[in-house]
Homo-oligomer: A and B are copies of this chain.
């Protein structure tokens, strides 16, 4: 484990919701990653694309701060997205040290596809529950997330800047 983002409260026959959350979170992430693979992107790319869509034109390191990635990590991630044609670096004429990051049309297409995929993924994951049960679940999880300081903008898989 990296920062050890993995845990296993001891294992009773009927696990509590804390252990279930970890198990389901990891399994869900894994499945989503598999669904993503045919599109030629990985989970980390998706988080970046989504963030970029909301912050077009801002400098690389500024966006890195928002996501919780250091400059080095940003370089590699943006390199990957640029080589795939999803992101464009444009020099800032006012300060030629910095770049503004922009989604290309292909990047926007990809983001749209990914969002569709996310819906399919969630439907598959929740197939055992009725629609109203899914709403219930969502509501309960949102309450926990809110009280744990997890926003809709928090990116899983990208550790928030520590210390």
**B-contacting residues of A (Cβ < 8 Å)?**
1-30, 32-33, 36, 42-44, 46-47, 49-51, 54, 111, 114-115, 117-119, 121-122, 125-129, 133-134, 136-138, 140-148, 150, 152-158
Contacts and interface: CB of A to CB of B under 8 A. Distances in A.
Contacts of A141: 17, 20-21, 24, 137
A162 B64 CA distance: 33
Given A128-B143, A141-B20, A144-B126, A26 B10 contact: no
A158 B43 CA distance: 19
A155 to B, nearest CB: 5
A9 B122 contact: yes
A153 B7 contact: no
Given A1-B42, A150-B27, A138 B20 contact: yes
Copies in the complex: 2
A125 B157 CA distance: 20
B46 A10 contact: yes
A144 B124 CA distance: 10
B32 A25 contact: no
B111 A156 contact: no
A51 to B, nearest CB: 7
A107 to B, nearest CB: 12
Nearest to A24: B21
